Structure 1
Amino acid sequence: MTNLIEYAAASDEVRAVYDDIRTTRQTEYINNFWKALANHPPTLRRTWETLKEVMGGEGDIDPLTRELIYIAVSVTNGCEYCIASHTAAARAKGLTEKVRGELLAIVATANSTNRLANGYQVPIDEQFR
C-alpha cells in the first residue's frame, strides 16, 4: 500500500498544494488520493492543477454533468476510488439515486454496444462523419 502523506509530515511544496485544495474546495479535508500523490510532489501539483481547471473551471458543462462524466469514465476504467469520490461529489451537487441508476444503465449499454461494434468491426456510416 502507498504511503499517505499527512499535512504535518508534508514538505512545504506539498503543503502549498494541500492548502490550495482546502481553499478551493472550502474544506479542511485532504482525501487519500492527494495524500498518495504527495509521494511525488510534481505529479501532485500537476494533477491538482489539471483537475481544478477541468472540473472547476469555466465552461458550458455544468458541475453535476462534469461529475457524471467523471463517474462514467471511472466505471468504464474500473477505478473504485474515483467512482466513490466523484459519486460523493455528484451527490453534493444534486445527484439522485434515480439519476445514478440511469447513468449506470447508459454506461453499461455503451460498453456493451462499443464492444459489439469493435468486435464486428462495423464500418462507420457516411452520414455520421
Structure 2
Amino acid sequence: MSQFIEYEDASDEVRTVYDDICATRQTDRINNFWKALANHPPTLKRTWESVKDIMTSPGELDPLMRELIYIAVSVTNGCEYCIASHTAAARNQGMSETLLGELLSIVALANTTNRLANGYQVPVDAQFKT
C-alpha cells in the first residue's frame, strides 16, 4: 500500500493540487486516491487535470451520466475504490438504488454478450460498420 501524503506534510506543488481539488469539489477533504498519487507529484497533477477537465467541463453528458459511465467502467475493471467513490458521487447527483440496479444489470449483460461474441469470434455485420 502506498503512503498517504497528508496536506500538512505535502510539498507546495502537492498543496497547490490539493487546494484546487478542494475548490473544484467544494470540500475540505482530500480522498485517499489523491493522497496516494501525491507520492509522485507529476502524476497527481496530470491525473487531477484530466479528471477535472473530463468530469467537470460542460458537455453533452450531464454530471450524473458521467458518474454512471465511470461506475460501469470501474465495475468492468474491478476497481473497488472507483466503484465506491463514483457510486457516492452519483448518489450525490441523484442516482437512486433502482437506477444503480439497472446500470449494473446492463454492465453484467454487456460483459456476458461481449465475452460470447469474442468467444464465438462473431464477425461484425456490415450494417454496423461505419
Name the TM-score, length of structure 1 as normaliser. Answer: 0.99
Q: Which amino acid aligns with 2:104?
A: L
SS at match of 2:5: coil
- Could you say what secondary structure the match of 2:95 adopts? coil
Q: Which residue of 1 aligns with 2:52?
A: 52
Q: Which amino acid aligns with 1:76?
A: T
SS in 2 for 1:58: coil
Q: Which residue in 1 is equivalent to 2:7?
A: 7
Q: Which residue of 2 aligns with 1:121?
A: 121
Equivalent position of 1:67 in the other structure: 67
Output the CA distance in 2 between the equivalents of 1:111 and 1:79. Answer: 15
Q: Which position in structure 2 is the counterpart of 1:93?
A: 93
Residue deviations 1:18-60, cap 9 Å, x none?
A: 0000000000010000000000000000000000000001210
The gaps in structure 1 that reach 5 residues or longer are none
Residue type matched to 1:18 in 2? Y
Unaligned runs of 5+ in 2: none
Give the aligned residue type for 1:77.
N
User: How far did residue 125 of structure 1 move?
Assistant: 0.3
What letter is aligned with 2:44?
Answer: L
| Whole-Å separation in 2 of the counterparts to 1:122 and 1:84 | 35
Aligned length: 129
The CA RMSD over aligned residues, in Å, is 0.3
Question: 5 Å matches for 1:76-115?
Answer: 76-115=76-115
Seq. identity, %: 74
Structure 1 runs, 4 residues or longer, greater than 2 Å off? none
